[in-house]
Structure 1
Amino acid sequence: MTVPVADSAAINFVGHPFGWLLLAIFIVGYYFIASEEKYHIDKAKPALFIGTLMFILIGLYYVSVGADLTPFEHEVDHMILEIAEIFFFLFVAMTYIEALIERGVFSALRAKLIAKGYSYRELFWITGTLAFFISPVADNLTTALILSTVLLTIDNKTKEFLVPSAINVVVAANAGGAWSPFGDITTLMVWAAEKGAFVDFLYLFPASFIGWAVTAYLLSRYVPDLDPNKDGDPEAAEKIEILKGGKVIIAFGALTIALAVAGKQIIHLPPMWGMLFGLAILQLYMYFLKQKHNVDVSIFQAMSKIENNTLLFFFGILAAVGALHFTGFLAYAAKLYEMFDPTIVNIGVGFLSAIVDNVPVMSAVLKASPAIDHAQWMLVTMTAGIGGSLISFGSAAGVGVMGKMAGIYTFASHIKLAWTVLIGYIVSLAVWYFQFVFLGFY
């Protein structure tokens, strides 16, 4: 069987041995991504390998058969732009986190919480609530990294507290991010693809909040109701303060998010543009601290501590999905919406997001671009975001927390309590159906 040489259109490799080779590479690579704990290989390595390899092989095939490379070049250019928007958005957010860590913001937050005499269970609810309401502003990955850092500064040994709290933070960050256009990478992608206006995502708040609250309640039963600071000194903890410039950096972080939103809404710049402008402001402020107050906070030192493996994982996996789209495989995803009720398919997207990671799944849905109405686009936005919490590596937040809490928050530790997330997921679906379908309120 041969693939026809096309002069102006991409070659469809579905059903051709070369196409099946590409699909096999993707499947094998994803097996190693999912088996990170078994083989002790960081998921960024196989993701980056298959993402880059698949396009190299496609390019070589085009050359070998004498096909026009124009469609291939256009696809690569478009994919680089798409990935860059996400990559730089996360890069800036992570840089701000590391700068805040260096200025002692999270140590001070931890000290204040400890000084208040909260129990493990109360801290569980506080960190979860913060995650839910911060993620719509700071995105789910950034929020999960912030709150997992706080958890570790509270107690880095007691797994009875850390594991349920880590799951709670991941679920809360994903649920909070689902009702904001820049609260999750998937919602950012849907917003950037103009499948919904800014305010449209806000209607997902009831389903997101109630679903998370149910999961949090179930998880809280596993958290010991004990004092985490039996041997500590609350008065000494209360004296820990944020270092000079820390509060200003918090304000600049909020300004940066506002710039990203305003830039997108008013002058149609990609959100990463506002984020990078915010990074420039941060750099200038650090220069000011050095010159006026002799406080040396190196922006490059903050950047050096970024979880680069997380960023590379997203680059690799989005490139791999892009390769499957370019070769014709994702066209079949759109057919599912023609064969079955879109609601059923979108619910299934949530479960698939948990297994394959919600970012590539949403990327696949957007590239397939099925003919579904606005309510269904909001449903798939919610299911991809919340469904990604079902498994530890099913979302950006989960991947980030696994990296931050290595050896504590793992696939195995998450899966033991995954039933609580499933119940919350089902509740969120019920609330969505009642609001969007029964009441028609959206």
Structure 2
Amino acid sequence: MHEMIHDFTHTWVGIAVLLVFVIGYVMIAAEEKFHMNKAKPALFIGTFSFMLIGIYFAIEGLNPGPLHHEMKNLIEEIAEIFFFLFVAMTYIETLIERGVFEALRFRLVSRGYSYKKLFWITGILAFWISPVADNLTTALILSTVLLTIDKNKPEFLVPGAINIVVAANAGGAWSPFGDITTLMAWTAGKGEFKDFLMLFPASLIGWLVTAFLLSLFVPKGEPHFDVYTTPKVSIKKGGKVVISLGILTITIAVLGHIFFHFPAMWGMMFGLSLLQLYSFYHKIKHKEHFNVFVNMAKVENDTLLFFFGILSAVGALYFLGWLFYITKLYEHIGSTWANVGVGFISAIIDNVPVMAAILKANPPMGIDQWMLVTLTAGIGGSLISFGSAAGVGVMGRMKGIYTFGSHMKFAWTVLAGYIVSCLIWYVQFEIMGIY
């Protein structure tokens, strides 16, 4: 457990920062109502909180050394994940520009598959793509595929959308870079690469339970596809090479972290340099230029800034002593029940600040419990439609079809999968000791 630097929870700055966080988070949670991107209030509360702490230290004449030390540590923690995500998003945008996902979508809709088969194919793809890409991008791409298949079939679209969200979150939970929360836990040193892979059985079986129950409501028959009016889509030149470079980049990041103890973002940045060099070679050989810097401009900077802001805000709460109460909660009810409860909390509150708070509080737990909270924070957001970035993204893509209400009709299927995942974890980690 980290040594708490000070306890400022009963001072005016402690109360003020907590109040700023609560008000700011209300603005974040209600971004659709206020029509304001969540990155704006997140960035404000993260930076303003430390401004208030600085003012307090100046007024009270306190030594700023501990504050400066905490801010430097925080910058390092955020930078590791920030640049990792930045490179991953750049690769995704490059794959989109090269038509990789469009080609995938065309192949799916042109094969004449039944609704049930398409339901399972899109779910399987979501489960396997999200560990490499992120769960939000995976869910957005495959929900677009669903709409392309048949936009006038809600009895197919709603179960299919829930299946994609659950599969994307479950797939991201067992990969250190499949979800922001798992990436946070990995870079914080809460487990080695192989430890996260041990969550595969719980993630897979939990998703399969939900998918099976949802499949019972998928209609029979096949969607209409007119081969004569739908133009064929193929991957552009260089697209397959970019796929290979993306896999190589992830591999280098993982191996560098394992063998050299480098930050994972270092290998990712090296992979970005390889992509830049290949784009130059591609221009010379094929007389066609795909500009990686243009693809960088398409990266969702609001997501990165939200991440920076919310982690800064949580860092401020930690410095002031508020997160000490989380460790007391863990001591009171026990790590297992507390970590299972994290899944339900992350369905209501975004899992990023929840995971950030737990990592900062750093309750004394073994690898088994850190893997449990990684699992529950990752898959718990699927319980409610807006409980995860993947769910929010699909709601935006399928407006009026995939809604809070339509999700809650099938929420019991997601809950069943969540319970099974936790049981699988218990049997594997606590009874059999396989991790």
Q: TM-score, normalised by structure 1?
A: 0.90
Q: Distance in 2 between matches of 1:18 and 1:412?
A: 40
When structure 1 is superposed on structure 2, of 37-46 and 95-104 the one drifting more is 37-46
Query: 2:64 is matched with which residue: 69, 77, 83?
Result: 69
Question: C-alpha distance in 2, partners of 1:397/1:412?
Answer: 17
- Corresponding residue to 2:364 among 358, 371, 386: 371
Matched, 1:79 2:69: no
- Give, in angstroms, the shift of residue 37 of structure 1: 2.5
**1:83–1:19 CA distance, 2 compared to 1 (3 A):** same
Q: What is the CA–CA distance in structure 2 between the aligned matches of 1:307 and 1:431, rounded to whole Å?
A: 35
Deviations 1:240-261 (A, max 9, x none): 2111111111111111111111
Residue 127 of structure 2 is aligned to residue 132 of structure 1? yes
Aligned to 2:7: 12
Structure 1 runs of 4+ with >6 Å offset: none
Post-superposition shift, 1:218? 2.6
Pick from 178, 187, 209 the counterpart of residue 192 of structure 1.
Answer: 187
For the pair 1:349 / 2:373, whether they are aligned, the reply is no
Indicate conservation of the 8 Å contact 1:177/1:183, yes or no. yes
1:232 aligns with 2:226: yes
What is the number of equivalent residue pairs in this alignment?
432
Tell me if 1:114 matches 2:109. Answer: yes
Bigger mean CA offset, 241-250 vs 402-411 = 402-411
> Is 1:299–2:301 an aligned residue pair?
no
Q: CA deviation at 1:231?
A: 4.8
Change (3 A) 1:149 1:76: farther
RMSD: 2.3
| Aligned mate of 1:386, from 379, 383, 386 | 379
Q: Are 2:309 and 1:316 equivalent residues in the alignment? A: yes
Percent of aligned pairs with the same residue?
Answer: 64
- The answer for the alignment partner of 2:18 in structure 1 is 23
> Which residue of structure 1 aligns with residue 175 of structure 2?
180
Aligned to 2:43: 48
1:255 is aligned to 2:240: no
In structure 2, the residue matched to 1:337 is 330
The one-letter amino acid paired with 1:220 is S
Moved more, 271-280 or 12-21: 12-21
Counterparts of 1:57 and 1:410 in 2: how far apart (Å)? 39
Which shifted more, 192-201 or 138-147? 138-147
Q: Is the CA contact 1:19–1:327 (under 8 Å) kept in the aligned structure 2?
A: yes
The one-character-per-residue Cα deviations of 1:207-230 (angstroms, maximum 9, x if unpaired) are: 1111111112233344443433x2
Uncovered stretches (5+) of structure 2, i.e. residues with no partner: none
1:144 matched to 2:139? The reply is yes
Structure 2 counterpart of 1:52, one-letter code: T
Once the two structures are TM-superposed, the CA of residue 399 in structure 1 deviates from its matched residue by: 4.7
- Which position in structure 2 is the counterpart of 1:4? none
> Which amino acid in the other structure matches residue 131 of structure 1?
A
Give the letter for the 2:426 counterpart.
Y
* CA–CA distance in structure 2, aligned partners of residues 253 and 146 of structure 1: 18
**Residue 136 of structure 1: SS of its match in structure 2?**
coil
Do the aligned residues in 2 keep the contact of 1:349 with 1:383 (CA within 8 Å)?
yes
In structure 2, give the amino acid aligned to 1:169: I
TM-score of the pair, normalised by structure 2: 0.92
Cα shift at 1:165: 2.8
The Cα offsets for residues 142-192 of structure 1, whole Å up to 9 and x where unpaired, read as 433443454455456655444433332221122122222222222222222
Shift of 1:403: 5.7
Structure-2 separation of matches of 1:234 and 1:211: 41
CA distance in 2 between partners of 1:226 and 1:311 (Å): 42
